[in-house]
């Protein structure tokens, strides 16, 4: 009761227009919550999180991993429910529940993502049809011919990018590597026209960041045109127009290229699907690939032993392919075949695998679109029809039984005869598992490797503050408050110095 009195008093203290708007929103919120109340009553759904207020779970939006960890800790058997906006969400954990989450048909990631993204539309039908077609195109982008044809772009772009950093610089690696990874993702699953044009590259890159953030109000009222939603619509519209113009011009000029855009044109896909495929791929690159690359470089900067091992590996490959003392690094690396890139950097790969165990320790979502309640593994619970299901990836990635001392960054976990995580069902989820593994793993990993090799071969680097003063100690924590990769809690900076003499950069 006290909370109601407090709310009324607070509303009274507001100006008249603010009072009217806030009262309306409050009424909508209460209405929305009560009209969905039946969902939590679904028989056999796991019990509601005790901390649950009638207004849902604001903290799930702001500090998702902590919210899920608290819910799991208070649940007697590792499964619980909560209300989030208009959604009833079931959180599953443990090996059997994880397996049924990863492998059950009828649990749809696209529809789940749309609900948490605060989408205007129920896009489950749209995603079902369009995603199937996009998925086929993404798979073609991971085949040898596409990768081999475009490999030289990855090396050239990475070389140009690191050169622009100069002899000595302080960089924000998330921003600096972010722009490069954005460019490389366009090389692999976007439009070369954007990757080739520095201005267009920067202006379109700027659109993506706000597209990911969904304030709670967007999820609460998917139909309400909030400023953040209007900003997203405007962003998507601009991207769609840019992509459509590029396709039109290419067709009018009768020119062809070797990118995914060309595959979409040749397949005669309509302009909406073309944009959906490119924007979807680039979004994943902007968030997942960027953070994987950046976090790994930062972990190397703070683990000198591993940096030395990776550097020795990179130097060894460069030395093996060098034709003369004065040959530039980029010329040497341009001669590496796809197979070389995929097999000769085993130590670097193990550091990337370990970094992704951390960057992808957030949550994955599904919506039950099967038309019936679905049993959760060997538990007594179900995911009700229409409800969302969430699996906190930390359930596997931070499980002491699978990864001893899970908070320690230790790439040697994957260099043993039986790599940690591989002997437990769905024990490593960095690239997804079961019915929905990442279709882009091969080219996304190649992007991380090429960008990292060029950076490591060209620079000595260490963590520092914004002014360039060296810092020691752990990296910032990772905040998981959205789908996909997390992000660092605070800005990170790195001091880089060119290794000109050694590499003829
Ligand atoms: C380092 C970079 C990346 C990592 C670590 C990564 C990781 C993942 C993971 C963990 C999943 C499973 C999510 C789930 O279970 O719901 C996934 C799915 C997916 N990823 Fe990636 N990803 C990366 C980059 C990309 C890129 C660049 C694309 C661009 C095409 C992409 C496209 C997809 C798609 C379409 C799915 C959904 C698959 C499905 O629903 O069946 N990913 N990814």
The response to whether residue 363 sits with its C-beta less than 6 Å from ligand 1 reads: no
Q: 433 with 369: CB under 8 angstroms?
A: no
The response to whether residue 189 sits with its C-beta less than 6 Å from ligand 1 reads: yes
Closest CA to 186 of 261, 239, 270, 242: 261
Question: Which pair of structure tokens corresponds to residue 391?
Answer: 């699996």
Q: Cα(127) to centroid of ligand 1, in Å?
A: 15
Residue 242 has a pLDDT of 97
CATH architecture of 48-503: Orthogonal Bundle (1.10)
Q: What is the DSSP string of 348-410?
A: HHHHHHHHHHHHT-SEEEEEE-SSS-EE-TTSS-EE-TT-EEEEETHHHHT-TTTSSSTTS--
pLDDT digits (tens, 9 = 90+) for 84-129: 877 899 999 999 999 999 999 999 998 888 887 655 445 555 556 7
Residue 34 has a pLDDT of 54
The response to whether residue 444 sits with its C-beta less than 6 Å from ligand 1 reads: yes
For ligand 1, atom 30: residue with the closest CA: 281
Q: Cα(92) to centroid of ligand 1, in Å?
A: 20
pLDDT digits (tens, 9 = 90+) for 344-387: 999 999 999 999 999 999 999 999 999 999 999 999 999 999 99
Q: 186 with 254: CB under 8 angstroms?
A: no
Question: Domain extents for the chain?
Answer: 1-35, 48-503
CA distance 165 to 448: 18
438 annotated binding-site participant: yes
Residue 3 has a pLDDT of 47
The response to whether residue 281 sits with its C-beta less than 6 Å from ligand 1 reads: yes
Cα–Cα–Cα angle for 144, 180, 235, rounded to 5 degrees: 100
CA distance 222 to 152: 44
């Amino acid at each position: 009761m006290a909370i109601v009195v407090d709310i009324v008093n607070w509303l009274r203290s507001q100006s008249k227009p603010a009072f009217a708007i806030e009262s309306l929103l409050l009424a909508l919120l209460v209405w929305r919550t009560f009209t969905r109340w039946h969902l939590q009553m679904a028989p056999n759904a796991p019990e509601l999180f005790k901390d649950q207020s009638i207004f849902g779970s604001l903290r799930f939006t702001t500090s998702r991993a902590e919210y899920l960890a608290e819910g799991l800790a208070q649940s007697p058997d590792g499964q619980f429910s909560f209300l989030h906006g208009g959604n009833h969400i079931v959180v599953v954990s443990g090996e059997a529940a994880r397996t049924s989450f990863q492998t059950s048909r009828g649990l749809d990631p696209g529809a789940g993502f749309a609900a948490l993204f605060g989408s205007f539309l129920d896009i489950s039908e749209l995603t079902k049809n369009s995603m199937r077609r996009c998925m086929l195109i993404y798979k073609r982008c991971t085949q040898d011919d596409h990768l081999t044809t475009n490999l030289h772009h990855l090396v050239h772009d990475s070389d140009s990018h690191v050169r622009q950093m100069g002899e000595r610089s302080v960089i924000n690696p998330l921003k600096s590597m972010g722009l490069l990874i954005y460019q490389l993702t366009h090389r692999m699953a976007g439009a070369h026209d954007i990757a080739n044009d520095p201005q267009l590259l920067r202006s379109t890159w700027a659109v993506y960041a706000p597209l990911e953030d969904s304030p709670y109000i967007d999820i609460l009222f998917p139909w309400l045109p909030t400023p953040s939603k209007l900003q997203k619509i405007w962003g998507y519209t601009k991207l769609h127009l840019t992509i459509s113009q590029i396709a039109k011009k290419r067709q009018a000029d009768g020119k062809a290229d070797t990118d995914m855009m060309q595959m979409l044109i040749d397949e005669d896909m309509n302009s909406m699907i073309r944009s959906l495929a490119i924007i979807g791929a680039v979004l994943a690159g902007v968030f997942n690939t960027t953070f994987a690359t950046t976090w790994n470089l930062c972990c190397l900067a703070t683990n000198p032993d591993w940096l030395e091992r990776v550097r020795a590996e990179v130097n060894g490959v460069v030395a093996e392919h060098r034709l003369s003392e004065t040959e530039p690094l980029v010329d040497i690396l341009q001669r590496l075949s796809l197979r070389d890139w995929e097999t000769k950097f085993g130590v670097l790969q193990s550091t990337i695998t370990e970094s992704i165990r951390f960057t992808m320790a957030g949550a994955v979502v599904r919506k039950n679109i099967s038309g019936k309640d679905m049993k959760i593994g060997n538990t007594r619970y179900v995911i009700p029809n229409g409800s969302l299901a969430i699996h906190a990836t930390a359930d596997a990635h931070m499980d002491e039984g699978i990864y001893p001392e899970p908070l320690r960054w230790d790439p040697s976990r994957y260099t043993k005869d039986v790599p940690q995580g591989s002997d437990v069902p769905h024990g490593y989820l960095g690239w997804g598992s079961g019915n929905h593994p990442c279709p882009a793993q091969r080219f996304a990993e190649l992007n991380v490797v090429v960008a990292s090799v060029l950076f490591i071969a060209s620079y000595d680097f260490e963590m520092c503050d914004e002014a360039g003063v060296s810092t020691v100690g752990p990296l910032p924590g990772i905040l998981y408050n959205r789908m996909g990769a997390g992000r660092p809690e605070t800005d990170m900076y790195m001091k880089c110095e060119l290794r000109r003499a050694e590499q003829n950069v």
